[in-house]
Amino acid sequence: MAKILEVNDLITRFYTFDGVVHALSGVSFDLDEGETLGIVGESGSGKSVTMMSLLHLLPTPPARIEGGKALFYSNRNEQNNNTDPVDLLQLDKSGIRKIRGGKIGFIFQDALSALNPVMTIGRQISETLIEHLGMTVDEAKKRSIELLEYVGIPEAEKRFSAYPHQFSGGMRQRTMIAVAIACNPEIIIADEPTTALDVTVQAQIIELVQRLKKEMKMSVIWITHDLGVVAGMADRVLVMYAGSAVEIAPVDDLFYNPGHPYTIKLLGALPKIGEEGQHRLESIDGTPPDLLSPPAHCQFAWRCPHAAEKCWQAVPAAREISPGHHAACFFDFAARRP
Amino acid sequence: MVQNAEVSGNINSNGIEHKKTELSRSNHNLVTVKNLKKYFPFTKGSLFNRKKGQIKAVDDLSFNIRKGETLGVVGESGCGKSTTGRAILHLEKPTAGEIVIDGVDVTRLTREELRCMRPQIQMIFQDSYASLNPRHAIGHIISEPMMIHTDMKQSAMKERVMELLELVGLNPNHYGRFPHEFSGGQRQRINIARALSLNPKFVVCDEPISALDVSIQAQVINLFQDLQKELGLTYLFIAHDLSMVQHISDRVAVMYLGKIMELTTRERLFNTPLHPYTQALMSAIPIPDPVKERQRQRILLNEEVPSPANPPNGCVFNTRCPVAEEICTRSAPEYREIETGHFVVCHKVDAL
Ligand SMILES: Nc1ncnc2c1ncn2[C@@H]1O[C@H](COP(=O)(O)OP(=O)(O)O)[C@@H](O)[C@H]1O
Ligand SMILES: Nc1ncnc2c1ncn2[C@@H]1O[C@H](COP(=O)(O)OP(=O)(O)O)[C@@H](O)[C@H]1O
Ligand code: SF4
Ligand SMILES: [Mg+2]
Ligand SMILES: [Mg+2]
C-alpha cells in the first residue's frame, strides 16, 4: 500500500527555565493510504507533541524541532500531478497553513476550547471553507449546513447559528469533525477526541469517524491512552514511552504477540471484562523518567522486569522483529512466546 | 507492604480512640440507603419572569452495602454519582431519605454527633492535586484529620503518618516533602493515607483513578484491594471507567438521571445485563482485544441526555431507549427484584 506520511527520527525539545525537556527523542512511523494508525502511550509520552510538531502548532519558543523529516505524499494535488513529497517540517508559515485544516484535518480532545466561544458554529465552519477553498459566504453557508448534517447534527440549518456552549460535548466534537473534514482532507489527526466524553458518546464518535474515513477515503491518526479504543478501530498501533516509539505493529500482533516489555506490562495492567472471580492487575512499578534528564540507556530499564546489563548501557534502536512489527528492545519477547 | 494488619476496630495501634458514638451493629449491612433524594433548587427564565425548578440530581435511591464489600456505581456524567456519594457522607444534606451507617441513621444526627461520626466515613476524590494543600508538607496533610478529631500528641501523629505512608506504599521518610514533589499516582496514595488516618469503616471513592495513567491505575487499584483485605474496608466506588468498576466491585449499581436502573453482582451485570440502558453501556465499553472488538455489535444510543431539571415522564430512559413502548412514556417502572439480588427498573425486562 502507498505511504501517505513518513515521519523519520523526529526530535522535539522544549527550552524551559528548568532545563531542556526532551519531549521527542527520534520518533519514526509511517501512515499508509486509507489506514488508521493508533498512537497510544501514557500522559507525557509525547503523543500530542508529535502531532503538534507535524502541524507547526507548538509555541516557539520554548519548542524547537531539532531533527527529523515528515514527508507528506499528497496525491490530491491540484496544481500539478507530481507526487514528490513535501517535508512538513520544512514548510514556512503560509505553506503549513495551506495544508493544516486543508489536506490534513485535525481534531482535539477539548472541543470547547478549540472552538471560538463567541462565534457561531456555522461561521467557524464557513471560515475554513472560505480560507481554504475560496468559497463565497453563501456557498460556504450552504456547504457548512451539509457538513453539519453529514456529521450527524440534527436540525443542522437551525444549529448553524448556535454557539458552542449551546452544544453537548458530543455535538461539539461532531462540529470539530465537520471543520476537520470541510476541505476533503487526505489525513485526519485526532488527539484524544473522545477522552472527555462518556462511553456512549465515544462509541458514536468512533462510528462516525470510521464511516467518514471510508466514504471520504482518508487516512486517520488516532491518538488515545485507551488501548480498548485502539483495539477496535486501528489497523496498526504505535506505542510511545517517554518520547520514544517503543513498538509499532499491526493491531493483532500488538495485542496478541507484543514484543516490547512496556507493551506487555501495559496490556497486563488492564482489567479484563467479564472475568470470573477477582484477578490482580499487573502493575508497573515506578514512573516514567524525567524528560529533563533522560537516561543514556533504555528509557524503560528502571521499570522493566527483564532489564539486563546492556539495557543500562545504551538506548536500544527499533528493530523489525517480524514483518511490519518493530520494537525498540534488545530482546524479542514476541519470539519467546509459544 | 501492608504491615499493620492488626489495625481495625475503633482503636488503632497508636491507641487513638474515636470520640465515642455508641454504635450498635444491627445487621451485616454496613450502609443502608432508603429512598434517598437530593434536589437542587434553581431559577430559570428572565429577570422578570423567574421560574423556580428543581434538579433531581438523586431521585429515590435505595440500596445497601455489606460490610467489607465494594459497591460500584456507574453511569454517564451528570447522572448523580457524585451527589449520591456526597449525600451519603452528609457533605450535602439530603432532601429526603434515610442513610443508616453501621446502625446509625446519620440523617437524624445533630451536628456534634455527625462530627463524631466523621472519622469512620471518608471520601477520596478524583483530583489528587486539588485536594492537597500545596503549602503543607504531606506529613501535615495526612495528620490533619487526627488534629481535628483526636488529641494525639505530635510524636504519636508523626509515628502514625509514617505507618500510613508505608501502608500506601510510599517512603515513610518523605513526610516532610510537599505535594508537588510527587507524581499523580503518589498524590492519590497520599490522599488515601489521609483518608485512612482515623481508621474509617467506609470509604466513598469518587473517580479516584480517573486522572491516572493505566499503569498507575493498576497500582492504585491493587492498593485499594490490599487495604480492603487488610483493614476490612467497605467501599462505594464511583467511576465512569466501566471495566475498572467491574474489576474492583462485588456488586454494581447503574445510574441514569438520578435513578438506579439496575443493580446486581458484577458477573451478572457484565455477562447478562438486563436493563436496556445497561446493555447499551456495556456494549460501548472498548475492549482491549481486537478480535472481540471486531465481533461486537454496539447498541448506539442517541446523545441527547434529558436534563435532570426536566426528566421525561414515565421511565426516565424512554427518550433514548431502543425498545421503549407506549407504556414507558406513561408510567414509571418499579424498582423490582427480578431474581435474588438482581434489581431492575424496566417495564420490559421480563420480555427481554
Ligand atoms: N509547552 C511546553 N513546554 C515545556 N514542556 C512541554 C510543553 N508541551 C509539552 N511539554 C512536555 O513534552 C512532553 C510530551 O508531552 P505531550 O506530547 O503533551 O504528552 P502526551 O500527549 O503523550 O500526554 C511532556 O513531558 C510535556 O511536559
Ligand atoms: N451543587 C449543585 N447545585 C446544582 N446542581 C448540582 C449541584 N451538584 C450537582 N448538580 C447537578 O446534579 C446532577 C448530578 O451531578 P453529579 O452527581 O455531579 O453527577 P455525576 O457525578 O454522575 O457526574 C447534574 O445535573 C449536576 O449538574
Ligand atoms: S422501561 Fe421502557 S424505556 Fe425504560 S428501559 Fe425499559 S424498555 Fe426502555
Ligand atoms: Mg496529549
Ligand atoms: Mg462525578
Residue B26 scores a pLDDT above 70: no
Residue A35 scores a pLDDT above 60: yes
For residue B255, the cross-strand partners are: B260
Does the beta carbon of B161 lie inside 6 Å of ligand 3? Answer: no
Q: Which ligand is nearest to the CA of B276?
A: 3
In this structure, is residue B207 part of a structural domain? yes
- pLDDT tens, residue by residue, A205-218: 999 999 999 999 99
For residue B54, the cross-strand partners are: B41
In this structure, is residue B257 part of a structural domain? yes
pLDDT for the residue A77: 58
Kindly list the residues of chain B whose beta carbon comes within 8 Å of any beta carbon in chain A.
76-77, 183, 185, 213-219, 221-222, 225, 240, 242-244, 246-247, 267, 270-271, 280-281, 283-294, 296, 298, 300-301, 303-305
Higher per-residue confidence, A155 vs A249? A249
In this structure, is residue B147 part of a structural domain? yes
pLDDT for the residue B50: 67
Query: pLDDT category, A116, cuts 50, 70, 90?
Result: confident
pLDDT for the residue B7: 33
Q: What is the mean pLDDT of chain B?
A: 86
pLDDT for the residue B8: 35
- pLDDT tens, residue by residue, B242-301: 899 999 999 999 999 999 999 999 999 988 999 999 999 999 999 999 999 999 889 988
Q: Which residues of A touch B285 (CB under 8 A)?
A: 199, 228, 273
Does the beta carbon of B346 lie inside 6 Å of ligand 3? Answer: yes
Q: What domains does chain A contain, in order, with CATH numbers?
A: 3-241 (3.40.50.300), 244-272+280-336 (no CATH)
Q: Which ligand is nearest to the CA of B81?
A: 2
- Asked if residues B238 and B207 have their Cβ atoms less than 8 Å apart, the reply is yes
Q: What is the mean pLDDT of residues A160-189?
A: 90
Neighbours of ion ligand 4 (CB under 5 A): A 47-48
CA-to-CA distance for A259 and B52, rounded, in angstroms? 61
- Provide the percentage of residues in chain B whose pLDDT is more than 70: 89
- Which of ligand 2's atoms lies nearest the C-alpha of B308? 25
Q: Which residues of B touch A193 (CB under 8 A)?
A: none
Higher per-residue confidence, B26 vs A74? A74
Query: pLDDT category, A187, cuts 50, 70, 90?
Result: very high
- Which of ligand 3's atoms lies nearest the C-alpha of B322? 8
Quote the longest CA-to-CA distance of chain A. Answer: 67
Instruction: Indicate which residue's Cα is closest to atom 3 of ligand 3.
Output: B318
In this structure, is residue B281 part of a structural domain? yes
Torsion angles phi and psi, residue B130, rounded to 5: -65, -30
Query: pLDDT category, B141, cuts 50, 70, 90?
Result: very high
Residue B108 scores a pLDDT above 80: yes
Query: How far are the Cα atoms of A47, A234, A247, A283 from residue A264, in angstroms, in the given order?
Result: 19, 18, 11, 11
Q: What is the mean pLDDT of chain A?
A: 90
Lowest mean pLDDT among A113-127, A234-248, B37-51, B315-329: B37-51
Interface probe with B: pick from A273, A280, A299, most Cβ of B within 10 Å = A273
CATH classification of the domain holding B140: 3.40.50.300
Residue A101 scores a pLDDT above 60: yes
Strand ranges inside A162-235, DSSP E: 187-191, 219-224
Q: How far is the CA of B323 from the centre of ligand 3 (A)?
A: 7
In this structure, is residue B25 part of a structural domain? yes
Kindly list the residues of chain A whose beta carbon comes within 8 Å of any beta carbon in chain B.
42-43, 168, 170-171, 198-204, 207, 225-232, 251-252, 255-256, 265-267, 269-276, 278-285, 287
Total number of domains in chain B: 1
Query: pLDDT category, B46, cuts 50, 70, 90?
Result: low
Residue B78 scores a pLDDT above 70: yes
pLDDT for the residue A81: 54
CA-to-CA distance for A214 and A149, rounded, in angstroms? 17
pLDDT for the residue B12: 38
Residue B302 scores a pLDDT above 90: no
Read off the pTM. 0.89
- pLDDT tens, residue by residue, B225-244: 998 999 899 999 999 888 99
Interface probe with A: pick from B187, B213, B298, most Cβ of A within 10 Å = B213
In this structure, is residue B305 part of a structural domain? no
Query: How far are the Cα atoms of A107, B160, B197, B335 from residue B16, in angstroms, in the given order?
Result: 54, 10, 10, 43
What are the pocket residues of ligand 2 if the criterion is a CB atom closer than 6 Å to any ligand atom? B 40, 55, 57, 75, 77-83, 308
Q: Which of B213, B222, B290 sits opposite A255 (nearest CB)?
A: B290
Angle between helices A137-150 and A121-133 (to 10 degrees): 120
How far is the alpha carbon of A262 from chain B, nearest alpha carbon, in Å? 10
Neighbours of ion ligand 5 (CB under 5 A): B 82
Best CA proximity match to A119, nearest among A60, A166, A185, A169: A166
Q: Which residues of A touch B251 (CB under 8 A)?
A: none
For residue B63, the enclosing domain spans 6-43+53-290
Q: Which residues of A touch B284 (CB under 8 A)?
A: 199-200, 202-203
In this structure, is residue B259 part of a structural domain? yes
pLDDT for the residue B217: 87
- pLDDT tens, residue by residue, B91-107: 889 999 999 999 899 88
In this structure, is residue B337 part of a structural domain? no
